[in-house]
Structure 1
Amino acid sequence: MTHPVGRERVALVLLCAAVFLDSMDLSLMGVALPAIGADLSLPESTLQWLMSGYAVAYGGFLLLGGRMADLVGRRRMFLLSLAVFAAASLAGGLLSSGWPLVATRVIKGVAAALTAPAALSLITTTFAEGPRRNRALGVYALAGATGYSAGLIASGLLTEISWRLVFFLPIPISLLVLVTAPLVLPRGDRPTAPAGGFDAAGAAAVTGGVLLLVYALTETSWQAGVVAAGLLGAFIFIERRQRTPLVPLGVFRSRRLTAANLAALAWACATIGWQFVAVLYLQQVLGYTALTTGLGIVPMGLAIVVTANLAGRLISRWGLGRVAAAGLLLQAAGILLFLRAGTSGDYVTVLLPALLIHGAGNGLSFPSLNIAAVGGLPNDQQGLASGLVTSAVQIGAGIGVAVLAAVMALGDSTLAGYRLAFLTAGSFSLLGALVAHLGLRAPAAGPTRVTTRA
């Protein structure tokens, strides 16, 4: 029989592999879009949704995914949603029509939104609070933080052969996890439905509101923004009156949880938005190919690996607030160093230091924010806690990309537009550092149960 410690390690690897896939799929389409458009004769409006369809569905369904993990069962939800993710990947690689292809991306986004909270809550309920959980969450954060960069690298390599390989890539990894996970993942307690039933109205309001909010930002549609605001307002009203709310609003009385989620939102606005702009900058201004762009990002991924592995020990010594704030400050420094590049920035002396510093800050801040976000709620509400922080990251990604794309258009030249975008991304990171410093300074008093009434 497998030793309990060895079994826990295998379970952690499998859970992190799934979350790595979720993050990687955010960026896999980026480099492949021109090849897909040329091969299938798709207009730019359709190509855009191959990326935004996944992100919108991912961000919009995360809160629902976190609650369903608690109610349906974390293990069951993880396996079912990962199976849907693999099936949608296969369908996408076989299709040759625009909108059916987009539909597979939307389905994958929904599946990822159900997988990620279940995986994170399985980790937090498997590993006891303290150094062991911190180390496990550090590995989890590493998987999520490097997934986006790995997607850029893999996309560049695979597109050189065939863009369909970008769709097929997640399938073998998903199948390996699906075959192995039932043998090592804990079954846990049998979920019990709340007496008041499932909060379907709240789920519909928040999911629709977030979907329309991200749509409004990506499409610059004020009409969609107004409807999104109305739906989110309706969600708050529903949650205040619901006996068993999807999100008990009382969780936001926790200064630590609120600060962690706000800082995670700013973190994603900065780093995901910056990576989106940086890839365009390397190709459009500096003339990098898709392959050299992906390879050029490798050192940043290595820096993330090193610092994420150190994060747990630094948190134990310095505390969550200091490590998170320091990481966000380093991240901002790396972003702002891109201002030195101009139209002919040397890679070794200009770009490489910026990438390494950004990666180091990324690897320190992301684990810290995840630990802070999930540490304040008990085990049976870990799906809610992880759903909130993952949703904050995905919504932040959508906001960051949309805002930076709009800011780029304000420059009186191409280079000026990129510089404005880098300044904006750096400002997001500095804002996150301030929130982390002010909101995560005090040590947590331990998990606090939040009642179902808001």
Structure 2
Amino acid sequence: VLFAPAVLALIILLLAVPLIPATPEERPRDRRVDVLGAVTVTAAIMLLVLGVERAAHAGAGTTAAIIASGLALIALFVVIERRSSAPLLRLGLLRSGPLVRANLAGLLFAGAFFGFQFIAVLYLQELRGWSSLQTSLAMLAVGADAVLAPTLTPRLVNRFGNAKVIVAGLLLAVLSYVLFLPIGMDTVYLAMFPTMIVLGVAFALAYGPLTIVATDGVEESEQGVAGALLYTSFQFGAALGLAASTAVIVAVTAGDGGAAGLLDGYRAALAVPIAAAVLAAAISAFGLRPVRNRR
């Protein structure tokens, strides 16, 4: 599973290189790369995710030390960016309210989305004994966003605006996770289907508009940085969501590996995506406030 994407990426790279047009050198040759900033923020993210994941395995002291180290590295990253002549992230970019809201909502939305997928797959395969193919087909409805995102979402955005569509998508995500709470040992797929299809609609409504809001109003020269910041938030959120869901499952099922214990663990872990989606909706709701005209 981990090896196949690497091979596919290599094939795409080899096929793409001849198609990339030659362009004149535009960047100054003396441009420096903020290596220290990149290493610091990457290490900080890794430690924070590790701290959340180890919460159910290690003692409170160890967990607190790991998380504190991650937060300390974030503080160091801020200091480095303030003093760097070519910062990885110009901190002034974070003064944009829409950009910050989009990143926070994107982090939480991704955490909820990937956390739920992890829980659902474990439930279907480990508890219900479904095969990988059956599980994939069961979750296929979530892929409805591939059809809705380019067709329905742009129309809704044009009519209601990004903020309303994002909030609607996040609230639908909350609904989809709540609908999965009654799962049991013999729940039929028809009872799970509403969760899958509603989640697909939610993803279609939230994901695209979040990327628009995250880069709206940003200077053209910083569009790449704003986009990269959002996708970093998505990836960071996904890792946190998986780590938090795992920690809850491990904590609840500790000492009880039976079917009833696993089911309790999966149900308890659903609190992670539900809480994350609710918080994301609350943050995005601030974007619904009317903007006063400036003279």
With structure 2 as the length reference, what TM-score do the two structures score? 0.85
Q: Which residue number in structure 1 is paired with residue 49 of structure 2?
A: 214
In structure 2, relative to structure 1, the CA distance for the partners of 1:169 and 1:206 (3 Å cut) is closer
Q: Does 1:388 align with 2:229?
A: yes
Q: Which amino acid aligns with 1:424?
A: V
Shift of 1:442: 5.1
What are the superposed Cα offsets for residues 166-222 of structure 1, whole Å, 9 maximum, x if unpaired? x23553565245424653679587223677x33333222212212222232333452
What are the superposed Cα offsets for residues 368-411 of structure 1, whole Å, 9 maximum, x if unpaired? 11111122322221221111101101110111111111122343
| C-alpha distance in structure 1 between counterparts of 2:204 and 2:292, whole Å | 22
Out of 392, 397, 405, which is 2:246 matched to?
A: 405
**3-state SS of 1:201 partner:** helix
Shift of 1:247: 1.0
Q: Which residue number in structure 2 is paired with residue 379 of structure 1?
A: 220
Q: Which residue number in structure 1 is paired with residue 131 of structure 2?
A: 289
**Given that residues 320 and 441 in structure 1 are in contact (C-alpha distance below 8 angstroms), is that contact kept between their aligned partners in structure 2?**
no
Root-mean-square deviation (CA), in Å? 2.5
| C-alpha distance in structure 2 between counterparts of 1:207 and 1:444, whole Å | 38
Matches within 5 A, 1:46-445: 167-168=3-4, 171-172=7-8, 174-176=10-12, 178-180=14-16, 182-183=18-19, 187=23, 190-192=26-28, 197-220=32-55, 221-222=62-63, 223-301=65-143, 303-309=144-150, 310-348=152-190, 350-411=191-252, 413-439=261-287, 441=289
**Given that residues 335 and 426 in structure 1 are in contact (C-alpha distance below 8 angstroms), is that contact kept between their aligned partners in structure 2?**
yes
| C-alpha distance in structure 2 between counterparts of 1:246 and 1:360, whole Å | 35
Off by >4 Å, runs of 4+ in structure 1: 184-189, 440-445
**3-state SS of 1:409 partner:** helix
Q: Which residue number in structure 2 is paired with residue 134 of structure 1?
A: none
Identity of aligned residues (%): 33
| C-alpha distance in structure 2 between counterparts of 1:382 and 1:182, whole Å | 27
With structure 1 as the length reference, what TM-score do the two structures score? 0.57
| C-alpha distance in structure 2 between counterparts of 1:194 and 1:428, whole Å | 43
Q: Which amino acid aligns with 2:37?
A: G
In structure 2, relative to structure 1, the CA distance for the partners of 1:361 and 1:287 (3 Å cut) is same
Q: Which amino acid aligns with 1:388?
A: L
Shift of 1:297: 1.2
**Given that residues 43 and 70 in structure 2 are in contact (C-alpha distance below 8 angstroms), is that contact kept between their aligned partners in structure 1?**
yes
What are the superposed Cα offsets for residues 28-73 of structure 1, whole Å, 9 maximum, x if unpaired? 45xxxxxxxxxxxxxxxxxxxxxxxxxxxxxxxxxxxxxxxxxxxx
| C-alpha distance in structure 1 between counterparts of 2:102 and 2:229, whole Å | 10
| C-alpha distance in structure 1 between counterparts of 2:21 and 2:142, whole Å | 32
| C-alpha distance in structure 1 between counterparts of 2:96 and 2:129, whole Å | 48
Shift of 1:439: 3.0
Alignment coverage as a number of residue pairs: 278
What are the superposed Cα offsets for residues 136-182 of structure 1, whole Å, 9 maximum, x if unpaired? xxxxxxxxxxxxxxxxxxxxxxxxxxxxxxx2355356524542465
**Given that residues 149 and 205 in structure 2 are in contact (C-alpha distance below 8 angstroms), is that contact kept between their aligned partners in structure 1?**
yes
Q: Give 5+ residue unaligned stretches, structure 2.
A: 56-61, 254-260
| C-alpha distance in structure 1 between counterparts of 2:127 and 2:284, whole Å | 34
Please say which of residues 408-417 and 376-385 is displaced more in the overlay: 408-417
Shift of 1:311: 1.4
In structure 2, relative to structure 1, the CA distance for the partners of 1:169 and 1:249 (3 Å cut) is closer
Shift of 1:424: 2.4
